[in-house]
Amino acid sequence: MADRQVVYTHGYQEPVLRSHRSRTAQNSAAYLLPELRPGQVLLDVGCGPGTITADLAELVGPSGRVVAVDASAEVLEQAAAHVAGRGLSNVVFESADVHQLHYVDGEFDVVHAHQVLQHVADPVAALCEMRRVTAPGGVVAARDSDYAAMTWYPEVPELAEWLALYRRIARANGGEPDAGRRLLSWARAAGLEDVRATSATWTYATPEQRAFWGGMWADRAVRSTFAETAVAKGYATLADLERISAGWRAWGAEPDGWFAVLHGEVLARV
């Protein structure tokens, strides 16, 4: 079990959750969708505000069900409200730490974690727990971005500054920002043998996509746990963060602006 305390780098401020709420099963879990069937019991680990959770619940419903867990009671409340707003009744929400899941061996057909393992103290121990609660023949699915592989155009210097600062803070907090490239190695270290490793991207290149992505990161640069940690640790001043925020707005206003986020994915049969 993990014995290190980890700070969740992003936090739960409005611009952070604005980003997470844009996620769907289609844009964030397409590699898992061919495995899903009505009637399955699915565990969504680190469910955040629950938009992917709700999509997964629709796909395994009405006879199947989802247990959604997160380390934050605050975000679980928001996820429950989202799921209720969509009229779904086959999801239960519970507080849990992925390193120590309070479920019996083999309780789930599918165990899923999106953008979670990059934030935990011990991703191999987390995958061992995810494997333990998966039934024989079931699947463990994990997907994480890889910050060092993020790429964009044009070369706005403040975005390079943001990336270096983010990676420094995520590591200081006990996480691994370049998780995507490591997922296969973590899955193998967790004893998973039948593993399919893939990758997929998010691309922001239309005026609407640039306005969303650039505006969201401009806000997060000054209003998030990342921003608070940067100042508290003395890695950046408020003036630095405001400059980075302005850089994100400048990128968002670039008619030629393009940004790609690479993700690693693993789908492991237990």
Ligand X SMILES: C[S@@+](CC[C@H](N)C(=O)[O-])C[C@H]1O[C@@H](n2cnc3c(N)ncnc32)[C@H](O)[C@@H]1O
Least distance from ligand X to the Cβ atom of residue 52, Å: 5
User: Can you read off the two tokens belonging to residue 156?
Assistant: 């706005």
Considering the complex, state which of residue 174 and residue 215 has its C-beta at the smaller distance from ligand X.
174
Considering the complex, state which of residue 43 and residue 156 has its C-beta at the smaller distance from ligand X.
43
Least distance from ligand X to the Cβ atom of residue 32, Å: 12
Least distance from ligand X to the Cβ atom of residue 104, Å: 18
Least distance from ligand X to the Cβ atom of residue 120, Å: 5
Query: Cβ-count burial of 240 within 10 angstroms (0-12 exposed, 13-18 middle, 19+ buried)?
Result: middle
Least distance from ligand X to the Cβ atom of residue 18, Å: 11
Identify whether 62 is preceded by a cis peptide bond (ω within 30 of 0): yes
Length of the chain: 270
Q: How many CB atoms lie within 10 A of CB 198?
A: 14
Residues that bind ligand X in the complex, under the rule CB under 6 A: 8, 10, 20, 23, 28, 45-48, 52, 70-72, 75, 97-99, 114-116, 119-120
CA distance from start to end of the chain: 21
Least distance from ligand X to the Cβ atom of residue 212, Å: 15
Whose CB is nearest to ligand X?
48
Least distance from ligand X to the Cβ atom of residue 91, Å: 14
Least distance from ligand X to the Cβ atom of residue 218, Å: 19
